[in-house]
Structure 1
């Protein structure tokens, strides 16, 4: 577990272990590979910063050529509550017209941020848009039409961190996903 043991006291529970993450990402890679043709032009769009570890591991499990791009979109401050305002901090650089776009998300919560991103990207005329998310919190969904095409894990409405997900930029480097003790963020 390396550096992960130093943070163990910060967690109420670990809900997804490193082994479970590796297994599910392998399965997602296979599902994604089977959903495209080998000659499809696929752009994997990582939504920064939370999805970077997930995208790195997932991309190695996809048995197709892919191009990487990145978009930094913010709807959260340093707290656990969303501001409700979606801002594009860094736009993607690839031209996606006529190409298959695979948006890689860390977590779909209310769906507001993802809906905003998808609406913008649709105007750029991609051949298709699919979404893969590591985590899904369906009970928090406000944008009911937003669903992932590929979903790693459904999680309860708890504040989760690790494996790319953070609280105030900490815990991203953990190899598991856990629920923080309330005293860590209140």
Structure 2
């Protein structure tokens, strides 16, 4: 199915049923890995809210949640490279197991910025869970990302929390920008 958001056309890339299946598996992996712990899930707003909500429904162990809001896209199709911190870390993470939940890792610049902030708070451990990863777009070395829903090519996507100029976050499926 094709959709139009503002002046751009998009086509289906990943259907919600596939997102559900992959999220269920990641939730199971995390629940097993942290069964002796009470991890803190640190969601990166706005994009991660849908993935984090569905992921937490699949977590079978006690856990806590908190959010940060960082921005590197400012209405464009590519990251500006400038990170704006709109909501900082409001929880004491010292000696806690932290799982950063991202919607998408593309250049990695925002995640590298957040990792530095989180590690300065002296957590027991830090892992990353992301719904989407664009390996070809990585501009910084993040090491291995611990939990990845889907690897995608370096193309612009919307839906399931991801937006184009503020629109499209509410779509269940993930769509890619059509060429031309």
Give the structure-1-normalised TM-score: 0.90
2:73 aligned with 1:69, yes or no?
Answer: no
Residue number in structure 2 paired with 1:99: 96
Give the structure-2-normalised TM-score: 0.93
Residue number in structure 1 paired with 2:33: 35
Residue number in structure 1 paired with 2:48: 51
Could you tell me whether the CA contact under 8 Å between 1:26 and 1:61 is conserved in 2? yes
Distance in structure 2 (CA, Å) of the matches to 1:75 and 1:147: 22
**How does 1:6-45 map onto structure 2 within 5 Å?**
8-10=2-4, 11-38=9-36, 40-45=37-42
User: How much does 1:12 deviate?
Assistant: 4.0
Give me the CA root mean square deviation: 1.4
**How does 1:135-150 map onto structure 2 within 5 Å?**
135-150=132-147
Residue ranges of structure 2 left out of the alignment (5+ in a row):
none
Distance in structure 2 (CA, Å) of the matches to 1:133 and 1:9: 25
- 2:118 is aligned, of 79, 98, 121, to 121
CA displacement, residues 67-102 of structure 1 (integer Å, 9 cap, x when unaligned): 110000111111112111112110121110011101
Tell me which protein shows more helix as a share of its residues.
Answer: 1
Could you tell me whether the CA contact under 8 Å between 1:111 and 1:146 is conserved in 2? no
Moved over 6 A (4+): none
Distance in structure 2 (CA, Å) of the matches to 1:177 and 1:64: 28
